[in-house]
Amino acid sequence: MSPVIQTSAIRSARICRRLYPAAETFEVAPPDPAQDRSGGQRGHGAAEVPGEAKLFRPGEACARWVRFESERPFAGDDPLVSDTNGAPLIPPGDFHDIVGLQGSDFGFHEHPGSDSGPLIGQEFDGPGVCHPFDMCGEVGCFAPHPLQGSFDLDRYGNASHERTIGEVLFGCDVGSVGRARSFKLLDRGTIVAHMLYLDHAATTPMHPEVWEAMAPYAGEVYGNASGSHGAARQAKNALEEARERAAGLLGARPLEIVFTGGGTESDNLALQGAALAGGLRGAVVTTAIEHEAVLETAAFLTGLGCRVDLVGVDRMGRVDPDEVAGAVGGDTAVVSIMAANNETGVVQPVRKVSEAVKAANPGVAVHTDAAQSFISTDLNVDDLGADMVSLAAHKFGGPKGVGLLYVRTGVGLEPILHGGGQELGRRSGTHNVMGAVGMVQAMELAASDRKRFVVNVGEARRRFEEGLRVAIPDLEVNAPLDGRLVQHSHVRIPGVRNETLLVRLDQRGLAASAGSSCQSGAATVSHVLAAMGFDDERARQCLRVSFGWTTTPQDGDDAAAIVAEAVQGLR
Amino acid sequence: MRVMVAMSGGVDSSVAAAMMVEEGHEVIGATLKLWQGPNGEAPTAGCCTVSDSEDARRVAAQLDIPYYVLDYTDDFMSGVVDRFIGDYFSGRTPNPCVECNRTVKFSRLLDQAADFGCDVLVTGHYARTERDETGWHLLKGFDPEKDQSYVLYMLGQTELERVRFPVGEQSKAQTRLYAEQLGLRTAAKPDSQDICFVGDGNYRDFLRDQAAEVAQPGPIVDSDGLQLGTHNGVIDFTIGQRKGLGIALGEPRYVIDIQPSTATITLGRKEDLATTAFRVDAAVWVAGEPPLPGIFDVKVRYKTAAAPGSVTPSSGGAAVEFNEPQGAIAPGQAAVFYAGDEVVGGGTIVTP
């Protein structure tokens, strides 16, 4: 019989103490090698603990800290904690308590220790050895000695990194197929839920290297980049270097880069700035599927007296360049069309729109919100044909609260934030040097990782959609066959309301999205889907799964299985 | 057992959630988003804020339970608001909290809880449930001051099987003490004057925006038709209301009649309100079938004490005759029948 730790044990430590007796004993069923599902596919041939040995299934809770004691001594030939050749790594006599935690591999297959065997002891003792990716190697973490206090996952970073297969391993040597032991549970602590994070279109986990690049600016480099002393110069140099690197990646000139407080601010600056530069006489043309940052800004400008024209989309969510150009008049100041939609991932023909718009009125500035696109698409501002481009760092492994707006030389733009005149007067406010450095680090990482990203994520999405279609034959994929971002999967599951489905997915540890939600988190009917002709009922049956830089192809299979399970009983 | 707790952000549902956690259940917290905004405008690209839900969210975080905000704006609009407006123009005084319980919380939310894999739905109501060989029973809450069984009379056997009211087993003081001991942020939150998610008087503002018709000024008259003053909308009045009439007459006057069609409010003396007999329709019997005719305690308003009367069930409704005349019987309100502490059933008052 499988041991069961109540997954309901998600509660404060205080309550927890009252719920659990200090000690209880249970058996871990012997794993069956024949059921080793990993087949050597997960990383380095390390076997996953088969289902029977699991205490926690994907999405179920996993202990933040757990202490166990073995009920019998381990013989010297027990490869309980061994290297990949089966050689014991810990003298049996030293082996009293075991803490095993299996996380996952995140799509990053390079982690210290993985080639030489399980990570032993380092997590707890080694100086800075373990960052989130190391810790969650497929071998789990083992402690050779009784642990003092707790093994605290939070030490190792953002919980959203912990995409887990979710086992707590009870002495199973997963490197050479585990075996059953009897263990006594000594104590356990706060339980955290692990998740399969597939909501990268909402935001992405920050890349550890990004934080490494930013860290000096949270510490020793603190100057105000606008000053004239040494501390200021350090900051200024870092800022301008970041600007150059960002420009280089986009095929732009450094002074065409304006760092902002994020994608929303970039969009506001582009639209309001262009409309204001036209003395508020400038009209705005945009599309019905833009992000709220554009649509609400356009609505605000309408209130100020600007004319705003919204162009619709076809049933696949695509904008027609000629229709956009048709809406452009002599008084149009700015046209805004997103590079790809944040809900459906449908790629928009920005270049064609730009060409058609310029043919209609060469004086119009063409803006594109490329927040979703950058992580998977090479963006060159000239190839894109855009005069202004918005980016948000947190969509590609960077920090939240920083973005940029590319502004082509010659484009008239009034500032919307007034003050010290930073960023060539286009964006006042003390420079966010740390943010800019982090953003650019993330841009470079994304650019250099794109090839891998596209392959991995594309495979994950293929497996997800194919797997889900087997379980749900009437599944609809809401996008054209080609022409969508590789990381988005936007599907309709007939008969299943997304609000309920998302909760059931959350219960199973899968973080996905309805594509549109309000501030409270309640699902709302998407304006994008409405523009595509969805009625409320169909719109409420849509699910967005978005893959990212931590995704492995296996995640696609897992996600399909979880969704298929979650819809059971709802249809 | 997996349970869903409907969390309003108040101390009662906060404690209900904590009690469920402490009992060892797997607990999910949920708050219902009932409308879009002060103007009830349709969902737009902009975001809604559910400020009421923030306390609930924080308590859920403190209890370390998953928490969701669920969109019930459509159900609330059709089940409660539209009906309120419709009933209003029929000269009735509906109880939106009863309607919300009937059409939203203990119907659709109950089903959705099941979809989430929850065995029961838990609320912070002060009422008790018991089961014996004859089935489920709905009882008054332990704290007589706080009893809310009145607004739960529509619960039948299938619903009672799937609901729990943990704080109904204790006094309000115990609830607060419990919240303090756990350090819940809602421990000292003042009691809501209203009984459900529709906050203190907010529904009137809300309805003013929804239906301008109910906010038309009109005359206030006495029982002889003599005009005493004017008002800003019949929506501000209910049968039996004494305060906030905006008129000083030197002796207590009560609203004895509301005519929405002419926006006329009629005032009278307390004795003008006295009624001996009335009928209810849409009767619901907790046991699933009507009781034999007999004397029960009859409660005709949430804040009014029950009075004994004979209740004679008939098809779909019941006839009630009080032993002593009672005041302020308002069509549209619920009449709930008790046998001691037990709710026998109830219905909607149709004739005074």
CA B150 from centre of chain: 8
Cβ-Cβ pairs closer than 8 A, A with B, add up to: 88
Token readout for B210 is 């929804």
Confidence at residue B104, expressed as pLDDT on a 0 to 100 scale:
92
Query: Both tokens of residue A247?
Result: 């420009």
Give pLDDT tens digits for A442-490.
Answer: 999 999 999 999 999 999 999 999 999 999 999 999 988 889 999 999 9
Question: Which pairs from A234-240 meet CB under 8 Å and 24+ separation?
Answer: A235/A431, A235/A433, A236/A431, A238/A433, A238/A436, A238/A437, A239/A431, A239/A433, A239/A436, A239/A437
B258 lies in some domain: yes
Q: DSSP letter at B42? A: P
**Selecting from 3.90.1150.10, 3.30.2010.10, 3.40.50.1970, 3.40.640.10, what CATH number does the domain A208-445 have?**
3.40.640.10
> Is residue B240 situated within a structural domain?
yes
Instruction: State percent of chain A over pLDDT 90.
Output: 58
Interface residue A154 vs chain B (CB under 8 A)? no
Domain that includes residue B320, residue range: 274-351
Residue B225 forms part of a structural domain: yes
Domain CATH number, residue B294: 2.40.30.10
Q: Report chain B's mean pLDDT, rounded to a whole number.
A: 86
- Kindly tell me if the per-residue pLDDT of B297 is higher than 70: yes
Tens of pLDDT, residues B125-171 = 999 999 999 999 999 999 999 999 999 999 999 999 999 999 999 99
| Residue numbers in A near B70 (CB within 8 A) | 499, 522
Q: Is the ipTM of this complex over 0.90?
A: no
Range of A428-432, A558-562, B5-9 with top mean pLDDT: A428-432
Whether residues B41 and B62 fall in one domain: yes
Rounded to 10°, the helix B82-89/B202-210 angle is 80
Q: How many domains does chain B have?
A: 3
Query: Are both B143 and B91 inside the same structural domain?
Result: yes
The stretch A492-521 carries a mean pLDDT of: 86
How does pLDDT run across B305-320, given as a tens digit for each residue?
Answer: 999 999 999 988 999 9
Same domain for B223 and B141: no
Same domain, B161 and B293: no
Last residue of a domain, one of B224, B241, B272: B272
In angstroms, the CA A413 to CA A247 distance is: 19
What's the maximum distance between 2 C-alpha atoms anywhere in chain B? 64
- The set of residues, in sequence order, having a beta carbon less than 8 Å from that of B320 and lying 6+ positions away, is B277, B278, B279, B280, B298, B309, B310, B311, B312, B335
- Residue B311 corresponds to which tokens in the numbers above? 């209740």
Put simply, the chain B residues between 251 and 310 with a CB less than 8 A from any chain A CB are: none
Report the catalytic residues of A: 518
Interface residue A39 vs chain B (CB under 8 A): no
* CA of B65 vs chain A CAs: smallest distance (Å): 6
B97 is catalytic: no
Each residue of B182-213: pLDDT tens digit? 999 888 887 765 534 444 455 666 667 667 76
Residue B118 lies in a domain: yes
Do residue A527 and residue B45 have CB atoms under 8 angstroms apart?
yes
Question: 3-state secondary structure string, B66-88?
Answer: CEEEEECHHHHHHHHHHHHHHHH
C-alpha distances in Å from residue A259, one per residue of A203, A293, A423, A429: 19, 17, 7, 10
C-beta atoms of B24 and A6 within 8 A: yes
Partners of B9 in beta bridges: none
Residue B302, domain member (yes or no): yes
Give A500→chain B minimum CA distance, Å: 7
B207 assigned to some structural domain: no
Do B183 and B223 lie in one domain? The reply is no
In a domain, B253, yes or no: yes
The phi, psi pair for B17, rounded to 5°, reads -65, -45
Range of weakest confidence among A79-93, A502-516, B86-100, B338-352: A79-93
- Tokens (6 digits) for A350: 């920005």
Q: How many CA atoms lie within 13 A of B62 on its CB side?
A: 18
Q: Is the pLDDT of residue A502 over 60?
A: yes
B64 inside 8 A of chain A by CB:
yes
Pick among B4, B115, B118 to test the A interface (most A CBs inside 10 A): B115
- Vertex B1, ends A570 and B7: CA angle to 5°? 80
| Min Cα–Cα distance to chain B from A399, Å | 23
CATH architecture of A450-567: Alpha-Beta Complex (3.90)
CATH of the domain at B231: 2.30.30.280
Distance in angstroms (rounded) separating the CA atoms of residues B241 and B265 = 11
Do B259 and B148 lie in one domain? The reply is no
> Best-predicted range by mean pLDDT among A75-89, B15-29, B236-250?
B15-29
Report yes or no on B210 lying in a domain: no
Measure CB to CB from residue A503 to each of B18, B24, B116 and give the nearest one.
B116
Q: What is the pLDDT of residues A154-181, one digit of tens each?
A: 322 222 222 222 223 322 222 222 222 3
Name the residue among A371, A561, A348, A556 with its Cα closest to residue A458: A556
Same domain, B162 and B231: no
CA distance A250 to A229: 31
Of B44, B53, B64, the CB nearest to A11: B64
CB contact under 8 A, A520 and B21: no
Percent of chain A with pLDDT over 70: 65
Do residues B280 and B318 lie in contact, with contact meaning Cβ atoms separated by under 8 Å? Answer: yes
pLDDT of residue A264: 97
Task: Compute the distance between CA of residue B127 and CA of residue B150 in angstroms, rounded to an integer.
Answer: 9
- Give the gap in angstroms from C-alpha B56 to the nearest C-alpha of chain A: 11
pLDDT given for residue B303 in this prediction: 81
DSSP A253-296: -GGGEEEESSHHHHHHHHHHHHHHHTTT--EEEEETTS-HHHHH
